[in-house]
Chains A and B, each alone.
Chain A
Amino acid sequence: MGSILCLTLFQGRMFAQESPYIVTYDHYLEEPGSLEVEYFSTLGTQRGGNGFHAFWLELEYGTKAWWTTELYVDGQTTVNDSTLFTGFRWENRFRPLAREHFINPVIYIEYEQISEADKIIKEVEGHDVESDHADPNSVLRQEHDHEIEFKVLLSKTFRGWNVAVNPLATKNLSPSNPWEFGYALGGSHPLAMRASPNHCNLCRENFIVGGELYGGLGDTESFGLHETSHYLAPVAAWNLPSGWTVRLSPGFGLNDKSHRLLLRWGVSREFSSFGPMISRLLRGRQ
């Protein structure tokens, strides 16, 4: 395993043209054979409790041109409390249409096994509110969720603008829980539409900026925008020629059910030849 990691550090770097979104998904999948390793942090304020630092690692692999699979591992540290592993998620995204269309749908299916102490807030669903996170970790970690989540990722890029709409539906696998719903909307645009001929880190073409709006839509028993949280977040991504991408997003709660501030940042790196390299290793080639 160590040799695999060492090899990936030194070969197969590819310039990543990653979107700046942290919650919203556009319709672009990982290139086949590429592995993207991502780390994200969320610093959150908490009324009636302690602030927190939630973090997660993503391993995103392009299985086919039409299929991307991704594994998340989540954790968090709550101020004056503890640090703990809060669960994992396995998501798969399938692109049913091969070519670009007026709107490009992607089917998203995720299984997650997380505890109530999970605070990454990668999506808002049902009646998720700030006070859900106020209890101490020792209490929150006692309850576990096994959920299946479905999204339809609708996205369009036109004249450099990307617009993405992600409705979601989640079902906790315990039979007594209703279906829960949520949404995420995003828009983004690169700072420059044309590339400069020179290699540079700070060229405008390497920056993409935009915004996200996401929140809950209640559940089957009480559908709507009320009694749930909503966030508005400017987003920015810096795609470095070395293959690294840095993202930053301060998210602001839009009502008194939301955290006041969710300051997010992330760093990712794409390894384009990961799949072929593993194939070579499995065949014993050097």
Chain B
Amino acid sequence: MNEPSLRVALPELPILACLIILAHFPAVGQPGQATTPTKRSWDYGALAEVPLKAQSMPNPYADDPTAMAAGKKLYGQHCSECHGADAAGGNRGPSLRVAEMRKATPGAIFFVVTNGVARHGMPVWSKLPEPERWQIVSFLQSLNK
């Protein structure tokens, strides 16, 4: 409080906070630069990296007809923003209608939903109760049948 230099510098901190946030965004495009969004290529390595024990976990709602409908609702609420309303992919998340998903076990999909894929910006979703995550798995598997 009695340090003048500190008092001068510290009020600038909100500006610094804004600059840090803005620095996160991609740079402003140059005139004439192409502005068409390019489709990102994704790898599905996270599914292959799931531990064997987790891969073998069965979906407790595999035979529950309401689980898929509930999972569809949950997908729309939590996942569609990145993966697309039809799960065919977006600029922030890959398509979930691909061979890798068809081949993945329910346990592997559950593991990825639970733990996220930090390197691709997917957050952990363990804040959803376990049954809700299995309901999402039910829906995702129904897309690839």
The residues of B that contact A284 with a CB separation of less than 8 Å are 28-29, 35
- Flag whether A278 is at the interface (Cβ < 8 A): yes
14 chain-A/chain-B pairs, Cβ below 8 angstroms:
A28-B123, A29-B123, A31-B123, A90-B14, A98-B118, A99-B115, A99-B116, A100-B126, A111-B13, A113-B10, A162-B127, A193-B131, A195-B70, A273-B81
Q: Which of B7, B118, B122, B129 has the most CB of A within 10 A?
A: B129
Q: Which of A65, A159, A282 has the most CB of B within 10 A?
A: A65
Q: Is the CB of A194 within 8 A of B135?
A: yes
Q: Which of A11-19, A49-57, A121-129, A215-223 contacts B (4 or more CB under 8 A)?
A: A11-19
Encode B76-92 as 1/0 by CB contact (under 8 A) with A: 01100100000000011
- Interface of B: prevailing SS: helix
Task: Mark B residues whose CB is within 8 Å of A.
Answer: 1-3, 6-7, 10-11, 13-14, 17, 20-22, 24-29, 35, 37, 66, 69-74, 77-78, 81, 91-92, 114-116, 118-119, 121-124, 126-132, 135
> Could you say which of B37, B122, B130 contacts A65, with CB atoms under 8 Å apart?
B122
| Complex Cα gap A144–B126 (Å) | 40
Q: Is the CB of A276 within 8 A of B121?
A: no
Q: Is the CB of B77 within 8 A of A90?
A: no
| Complex Cα gap A90–B28 (Å) | 26
Task: Mark A residues whose CB is within 8 Å of B.
Answer: 12, 14-15, 17, 19, 26, 28-29, 31-33, 61-66, 69, 71, 88, 90, 98-100, 111, 113, 143-146, 157, 159-160, 162, 173-174, 190, 193-199, 205, 241, 272-273, 275-276, 278-279, 282-285
The residues of B that contact A69 with a CB separation of less than 8 Å are 17, 20-21
> Could you say which of A31, A113, A143, A193 contacts B130, with CB atoms under 8 Å apart?
A193
Please report the number of residue pairs spanning A and B whose Cβ atoms sit closer than 8 angstroms: 132
Q: Is the CB of A88 within 8 A of B14?
A: yes
Q: Is the CB of B81 within 8 A of A14?
A: yes
Q: Is the CB of B77 within 8 A of A241?
A: yes
The residues of A that contact B74 with a CB separation of less than 8 Å are 195
List 5 tightest A-B contacts by C-beta distance, closest first: A15-B77, A197-B69, A98-B118, A283-B29, A99-B115
| Closest B residue by C-beta to A27 | B124
> Could you say which of B25, B70, B124 contacts A197, with CB atoms under 8 Å apart?
B70
| Complex Cα gap A190–B130 (Å) | 11
Q: Is the CB of B25 within 8 A of A113?
A: no
| Complex Cα gap A273–B80 (Å) | 11
| Complex Cα gap A272–B77 (Å) | 11
| Complex Cα gap A198–B7 (Å) | 55
The residues of A that contact B10 with a CB separation of less than 8 Å are 111, 113, 146
The residues of A that contact B92 with a CB separation of less than 8 Å are 32-33, 276
| Complex Cα gap A29–B123 (Å) | 8
How close is B124's CB to chain A, nearest CB, in angstroms? Answer: 6
| Complex Cα gap A134–B26 (Å) | 49
How close is A201's CB to chain B, nearest CB, in angstroms? Answer: 13
Q: Is the CB of B24 within 8 A of A194?
A: no
How close is A242's CB to chain B, nearest CB, in angstroms? Answer: 10
How close is A110's CB to chain B, nearest CB, in angstroms? Answer: 11
